[in-house]
Structure 1
Amino acid sequence: MKTFTCPFLSLLIGLTSAVLSATPFAAPMADRLERPSRISASASQAPLTGIQRLGQRLVLVGADGHILLREPDGRLHQAKVAVDVLLTAVHFVDDRQGWAVGHDGVVLHSADGGENWDKQLDGKTINTLMLTWAETEVARLEQVASAQGSDNAAQLQALDNARFALDDITAGAVAGPSRPLLDVWFANADEGWVVGAYGMVLHTRDGGKRWDYLPDLDNPERLHLNAVLGLANGDLLIAGEGGRLYRRVDGQWLAAQQLTPASLYKLVQLRDGEVLAMGFGAALLVSNNHGQDWKPIPLGTKASLYGAEQLADGSLWLTGQAGVLLHSQDLQQFRLFQSAIRGAWLGVAALGDTQLALVGNKGLHVLAIHELKELR
């Protein structure tokens, strides 16, 4: 089975290790899939990995199944969550319906604006979906090979690939529900996608009641997939390890693009339709045509980038490792800032025009923009 090589995924794995090492007699992961997240007074100081504005509230996800809701007056309270594994991303389609994903193949759903979260999927079910697909594919290709004989090299290669996939998936299933999911995006309350480690892509058309494993992405190396985003024109983008970008147009996956050698961690569409891809070593690229073509944007830093937020005035904040933040009015000139807290900022949300809510391995911090130190 493929080993972890993506720095972003390694960072999230590190967050899990840090939390478990600080928890005496931590229960096995299988138990954590069945055990509700514990209410903790210090949840906002524990690692947090994702943030989304929901009206005037913020929804935050992170370690030990923690999901926090921040009210406009700054009060925080913890949601009721069915699992206590590390959560990695959250996405709401309206003020009621939302999904969160995390380690061990967890997909959670909330129908009440984030107050309560039920488990829709976990790695045990994903293993079953993958095994069913692989066994069916091997049987189908064996039947084709038997009918066509041994002269069709392409068919024989496809059969070899399917048998290898079956062996690999079987070995992965033996390890248990160990398939981290890293991002989630829903077009509406019914149709959505989740992506994750080892090239994992899952799709639902009924709000998560049933999920389909999608093996047809152009990703034979099973590179990790870190981000998924639907565009305003209906296209779907997936980005990940090795700078790979995958586009789904009119229901069909196109050949993969490699935008950069650096792994990509985040996709975001701005209000004017431009799309940004960002990641390792300050990789930042922009597309003006829905992801068909990309142009790199040079930055005065080598810090990896993890989060982005566009303010009401159209300006953009980017967040990254070691407390780095970048601000731009035009996507051409960027001002580099340093927060006093040197953790990795994995997500950002604006609180009006004067404050930023930042989440990362240091938990939640609300910083006044005028207090940030500009680096020259």
Structure 2
Amino acid sequence: MKTPTLTCCSLALGACLLLPGAWATPLPDRLERPSRLSGQAHNAPLVAVQRLADRLVMVGADGHIVLRSLDGQLSQAAVPVDLLLTAVYFVDDQHGWAVGHDGVVLRSNDGGASWRKQLDGRTINTLMLAWAQAEVDRLAAGTTVDEQALDNARFALDDISAGVAAGPSRPLLDVWFRSPDEGWVVGAYGMLLHTRDGGESWAYVSELDNPDRLHLNTLLGLANGDLLIAGEGGRLYRHSAGRWQPAQVLTPASLYKLVQLRDGQVLAMGFGGALLRSADLGRHWQAIKLPSAANLYGAEQLADHSVLFSGQAGLLYSTDLQGFRLLQPSDKALWLGAAALADGTLALVGSRGLRLLGRDELKEYLQ
């Protein structure tokens, strides 16, 4: 197995441009060294944002987790690791998780004010190695040996062993929890882990239809209990009624984000201007033609039900998912996520940190 690099699996979107030389520090040090506190953390690269009832929670470079209160006050949480954080998800206003490089999973029980490490790549390596060895032993002990399956299992064991030798080097790219107890994380090289106790223990999930271990970039839980995962090669995976279904290939382009709108529609977006929508919870998809082939990284539905897409070329705005307008705030940046606030302000995060577009300013762009 190749060692993940910033080029191949930092958010699957070229974060090497944001963080040159970020792997120069030995990996174990990054997992044990707390993130540095800085009065300018909100101006450093930020990757993901979530709005809670009384605050924004943003994660990004160097283990930075930045909070913004309703009155505009910014603060930086103390974080026990100093590495790139790629995603954040709060299941309610108190209980949240953040994930990132080196297989790190962090948990907060106080709305993001404080964080503790629950998992890192060293434990993930142990989980994967134990699974691979058990699979080889199971197949070898069968009364009728499936030689092809046994060869595949032995190859997987060798591959995982090589990855273990590289250290805690598998980035996690997204996280989603159904409740304060049950959740999943996904990442590079087909990484999928599941917890039933709030992240205190994790199980490696091997049943996904992903024999080539393509990167898994995003996951989304639906109201009917299904779980969707999307990633490299435009593949979509569904867990329904307790079983993983065969993968769908939606597009040749890699998918980066899954979003569900208020009317139930599901959007899948990614590289090369790929945008698809589904009106039946992801069973059937329709491609949407865009005015630009720039990469899309996220979407936020506004109060009037219009949608803003964040991406490489700026922002795409649409009222009906048929016509689109390209918006580019004056400080051109790579926008990775957005969150709409109750007062109409739009919070953008990206390569230049946090950018706030006031309601009047946003209206000017949309006129």
The within-5 A match list for 1:122-161 is 122-144=120-142, 147-148=143-144, 155-161=146-152
Aligned residue identity for 2:20: S
Aligned mates of 1:12, 1:78 — CA distance in 2: 22
Residues 98-122 of structure 1 show CA distances to partners (whole Å, capped at 9, x for unaligned) of 0000000000000011000000000
Aligned mates of 1:353, 1:331 — CA distance in 2: 24
Aligned mates of 1:83, 1:160 — CA distance in 2: 38
SS of aligned partner of 1:133 = helix
The within-5 A match list for 1:1-376 is 1-2=1-2, 5=8, 8-17=11-20, 27-144=25-142, 147-148=143-144, 155-322=146-313, 324-352=314-342, 354-368=344-358, 370-371=360-361
**Structure 1 unaligned regions, length at least 5:** 21-25, 150-154
Q: Following TM superposition, by how much is the alpha carbon of 1:243 offset from its aligned partner in structure 2, in angstroms?
A: 0.3
**1:275–1:56: structure 2 CA closer, same or farther, 3 Å change rule?**
same
TM-score (norm 2): 0.95
Tell me how many residue pairs correspond in the alignment.
363
Aligned mates of 1:329, 1:241 — CA distance in 2: 29
Aligned residue identity for 1:186: F
Q: Following TM superposition, by how much is the alpha carbon of 1:239 offset from its aligned partner in structure 2, in angstroms?
A: 0.3
Kept in 2, the 8 Å contact 1:182–1:226? The answer is yes
Aligned mates of 2:234, 2:27 — CA distance in 1: 31
Residues 51-106 of structure 1 show CA distances to partners (whole Å, capped at 9, x for unaligned) of 00011310000011110110112110001111111100000011110000000000
Residues 99-152 of structure 1 show CA distances to partners (whole Å, capped at 9, x for unaligned) of 0000000000000110000000000000000000000000111112xx225xxx
Aligned mates of 1:189, 1:12 — CA distance in 2: 30
Residues 231-250 of structure 1 show CA distances to partners (whole Å, capped at 9, x for unaligned) of 11111000000100000111
Q: Give the percent of matched residue pairs that are identical in Structure 1 and Structure 2.
A: 65
TM-score (norm 1): 0.92
Aligned mates of 2:35, 2:10 — CA distance in 1: 27
Aligned mates of 1:13, 1:205 — CA distance in 2: 34
Aligned mates of 1:135, 1:316 — CA distance in 2: 47
Aligned residue identity for 2:356: V
**1:196–1:357: structure 2 CA closer, same or farther, 3 Å change rule?**
same
Aligned mates of 1:238, 1:89 — CA distance in 2: 15
Aligned residue identity for 1:57: R
Kept in 1, the 8 Å contact 2:11–2:86? The answer is no
Aligned mates of 2:10, 2:121 — CA distance in 1: 22
Q: Following TM superposition, by how much is the alpha carbon of 1:300 offset from its aligned partner in structure 2, in angstroms?
A: 0.6
**1:128–1:14: structure 2 CA closer, same or farther, 3 Å change rule?**
farther
